[in-house]
Amino acid sequence: MSTTPRLSGPFRVGDRVQLTGPKNRLHTITLREGGELHTHHGVLPHSTLIGIPDGSVVRNSAGHEYLALRPLLRDFVMSMPRGAAIVYPKDAAQILSEADVFPGAVVVEAGVGSGALSLWLLRAIGDAGRLVSFERRPEFAEVAQANVETFLGHRPPFWDVRVGDLAADLPTAVEPGSVDRVILDMLAPWECIDAVAEALTPGGVVLCYIATATQLSRVAEYIRNTGLFTEPDANETMVRGWHVEGLAVRPDHRMIAHTGFLLWARRLAPGAVAPEQKRRASKSSYGDEDVELWTPGAVGDRQITDKNLRKRVREAQRAAEGARHAASDAGSSAGDDPADLDRLD
Ligand X SMILES: C[S@@+](CC[C@H](N)C(=O)[O-])C[C@H]1O[C@@H](n2cnc3c(N)ncnc32)[C@H](O)[C@@H]1O
Q: Binding residues for ligand X, per CB under 6 A?
A: 84-87, 110-111, 113-117, 134-137, 140, 165-167, 185-187, 192
Cβ-proximal residues to 178 (8 Å cutoff; 6+ apart), any chain:
106, 199, 201
| Beta carbon of residue 259, minimum distance to ligand X (angstroms, whole number) | 11
Using CA atoms, how far apart are residues 345 and 334, in angstroms rounded to an integer?
Answer: 12
Nearer to ligand X, 136 or 283 (CB): 136
Listing DSSP states for 278-312 in one string gives SPPPS--S--GGGGGG--TTTTTPPPPPHHHHHHH
Distances (CA, A) of 124 to 196, 223, 296: 21, 26, 42
Rg (CA), the chain: 28
Nearer to ligand X, 27 or 82 (CB): 82
| Beta carbon of residue 207, minimum distance to ligand X (angstroms, whole number) | 12
Nearer to ligand X, 44 or 116 (CB): 116
Q: Which residue is nearest to ligand X (CB)?
A: 111
| Beta carbon of residue 137, minimum distance to ligand X (angstroms, whole number) | 4
| Beta carbon of residue 112, minimum distance to ligand X (angstroms, whole number) | 6
| Beta carbon of residue 135, minimum distance to ligand X (angstroms, whole number) | 5
The amino acid occupying position 176 is P
| Beta carbon of residue 2, minimum distance to ligand X (angstroms, whole number) | 28
Tallying the residues shown for the chain, one arrives at 345
Nearer to ligand X, 81 or 202 (CB): 81
| Beta carbon of residue 114, minimum distance to ligand X (angstroms, whole number) | 4
The DSSP letter of residue 104 is T
For residue 82, the Cα-to-chain-centroid distance in whole angstroms is 14
Nearer to ligand X, 12 or 137 (CB): 137
Using CA atoms, how far apart are residues 214 and 221, in angstroms rounded to an integer?
Answer: 11
| Beta carbon of residue 113, minimum distance to ligand X (angstroms, whole number) | 2
Alpha helices in the chain (DSSP H): 73-79, 89-98, 116-125, 138-152, 166-173, 193-199, 213-226, 306-333, 341-344
Nearer to ligand X, 204 or 260 (CB): 260
Nearer to ligand X, 143 or 220 (CB): 143
Nearer to ligand X, 37 or 205 (CB): 205
Nearer to ligand X, 167 or 265 (CB): 167
Using CA atoms, how far apart are residues 106 and 131, in angstroms rounded to an integer?
Answer: 6
Whether 171 contacts 199, CB under 8 Å? yes
Whether 201 contacts 267, CB under 8 Å? yes
Backbone angles phi, psi at 275, to 5 degrees: -60, 140
**Helix count and strand count (H, E) for the chain:** 9, 15
Cβ-proximal residues to 25 (8 Å cutoff; 6+ apart), any chain:
39
Sheet of 26-30: strands edge to edge? 26-30, 16-20, 65-69, 56-59
| Beta carbon of residue 90, minimum distance to ligand X (angstroms, whole number) | 13
